[in-house]
Structure 1
Amino acid sequence: MSGSPVNELDASDSSAADRRRQFQTQLATTELPRHLALFYRTHAEQIRVITTYVARGIRQGERVVYLFDENDVETIRDALTGVGLDVDSLQAAGQLTLIDANEIYSDSAFDPVESVDAFRDIAADAVADGYDGLRVAGENSWSFGLDCSFDEVMEFEHRFDEACPELPVTALCQYSLEQFAEEAVGKALQTHEMIIYRETLCTNPYYTSPEEAIEYGAPLSNVALLLEQTRDIHQFRNDVERREERLSVVNRVLRHNLRNELNVISGRLQWLVEQGLFDEAAREHLDAVVSATERLSALSENARHVGRTLDDRQREPANLNATVEEGVADAVCEYSDLSVDIDAGPEDTVVADATVQTSVREVLRCAGTNLSAPTVDVRVEADNHYETGTVEIIADDGFIAEAAMVAFENDSERALAHANTLRLWVAQWTIESMNGRLELSGQPPADRVRLTFPTIEASR
């Protein structure tokens, strides 16, 4: 495989670019663990994953170390250049280092403890030099050339996990499914909290923490591993099915029964009001009941809106300015007196998840509901490397109530009892699902909402 042509990765496969794009989005919207593994079958698949992973680290201000073994250094250089990285400049600045794996893993006498210590030193140097952390990618074919058992390699993996809380490092181990034996792959699978398989980032249900490995004697054989996880997955599916059934009942009550009964109550109350049968004191109580019924009906309708909004989410990248404009257009269509001025960001910024539109729309719906003749400024920005995008929504007056601000600060959902605040929670859930955050500012009521979320590089 050494010296394989890099142009194989996109030359004749139009879907390869789409797969890389989807993986870019996953990396941008997922908080990575310290230790993950790539299991691949083809060289093209390997190159697409590692170049995306390395480019993300570079653009996030991390120092990146690539440990090559099966691929030669020129293959890796050409691949990284092919995704837009200036390899010469990055190497000269010290942000990118390409190292023969044998320089880290001694081919004379492999020592798991010494290898972990070496990574600890490299990570400390990265932080001392002003980088946000260390990102490592290593071709694990280095283990074939060592005079040691694969279990010793697994000891190194577990020791690395134990040291992870101390290390500002994200490490990607690479395993070729065409070269590593099934038993070795089964063991490697158990030592990584997340894996990349078929260019998809997955939470690993087979992961065994170092503590569990000591207690239960992991790594297990492939058969024992499958039996253990079959039981766990079976239990998980049963739990999910039961919870789905309960949620279905609750949704039917909210979406149908509750709404219908409220319509009956509202109609009868309106009839009583029109009859004029009550004195002024009784009329005040009747008006209070009518208002409470209307609020409850609004809450039911907003709950239905939440369900539709979250169910309809489709994750895909999009131009940042365009997706913000769509969110604004949705809100203005609903609130005709809502006036919105957009200060656009850089034209080529691509948001990693187009559902930023949902968060923008829901925040503006709060303004449209809580303010009379609202005027709102929407400011769109991106950082120098376009790794992070922000949208600030600023109104002339406060439109986020104090109760909602307290609920957000205390990570509490008690403000869900208010229909208007439910919209803000939809914005919060949506932005958090793509590894972003929502912040409120201003003295109660808040007059500014800031959305921060990951972006990815534009298509080349």
Structure 2
Amino acid sequence: MSQNSPSDSIQPETLGVESGLEALRSSPSFRGPVEPHEGHDSNDHIALIHQTPEEKFAAAIPFVEQGLERGERCMYIADEHTKDEIVSVMRTEGVDVEAACDSGALTFHTKQDTYYRNGEFDPDEMIAFFEETIEDTLDEYTGLRIGSEATWILGEEADIETFMAYEQQVNELFGRTACTALCEYNRDRFPATVIREVIRTHPHLIYDNVVCQNNYYTPPEEFFGPDQPEHEVERMLNSLYDRTTATVDLREREQELQQKNERLESFASMLAHELRNPLQIAKIYQQRATIDDDPAAAELSTALDRMEEMIDVLLVTARRSDSVIDWEPVALADVAADAWGNISLPDTATIDIKAGHTIESDVTHLRHLLKNLFVNAIEHGDEDIVIRVGDLPTGFYVEDDGPGIPEAEREAVLEAGYSTDTDAIGLGLTFVAQIADTYGWEFTLTDSANGGARFEFRDVEITSDD
């Protein structure tokens, strides 16, 4: 993990929700769209409501780690856990804690040197403390990031109502400065009445690994204003209206998508039917015109067979889960050898087949899948490329020792029409991905041991092994 490098010329910027939740939103552990609240400036004050240490650290550690990588100063105010416990978890997650602490980018604090620095909790004093800390931070760092365990307010010294009023002041401060904060609340230790106020005073929430735009957030001017009940009623009605219209819109979009899919399947079936008729006529005339040992006739026959196979694949990929598949036990090694023998190859290209699985599949579909992978490797590799086909515990793989596919392009290469070859139509890997999806196989594109491309297929039904 890269540590922050202080900048000599920092341009202070207001840190928005993008900076505060970018790491969490990009993590596969978290779900939920994150969008700013329109009409409100404070979008960088986040409440983490958790019930276990694992759940808390799953959010808090990426939050701090991202701040260090972005060149921000990170403050962690510990209370529920000790500094040593937090440091241990950070190390386990790959954070170079020692380097961050030595540079000053990461500091640990307690309630005594922050919230109770003068012996008692004073909201105005704490706001002034943060303002001064942010100002000092911007002399060397791009912003301030705060993680705070809030269990300290459960003591007799703290007044919950006063603290919630302070939280609203924090919204205003963070909305206009280069600071973002993650306030951590243990749901099992706080009364439900307190958690309710926490929800009302934080623009964004994290709960059960879901990042939520908080529709229950009440801006300070409404929370403490004389018209608070009226504003709350208005907010409740708007929330009901928004949820209902969103549900209706979603159902309408689902129906529209279903209708489009049905039209696509109908078109594919019609197209396949229209293509089969002239194809059969061409095959009849080809058979009549065949002359023994005529290479042209043999090439024509191969081309027509390939067209018929592509029509079959077109149907199965268009219909997906509703496709009629002729399931049968298929020896993976035999189909790989057959596919290899039916493509145009440079003399120096080789294949190493170490597959022993017999799997449930349709031989036409599997052969087409393998042929597309072989052709893709040959077209993008050297003439002496080596392609390997082997077993996985629940499936199989195809890999090569070619140049590989950069990680940034791995999603794009599976899209229809994408190709680095101007003469290609860019459907080969699209068919591979769609066949895997139709069969319910888990499909992964990664690097081979030699740096080439490796295609892995799992959750394949294996009937026997050699």
TM-score by length of 2: 0.49
Structure richer in helix, relative to its length: 1
Higher Rg: 2
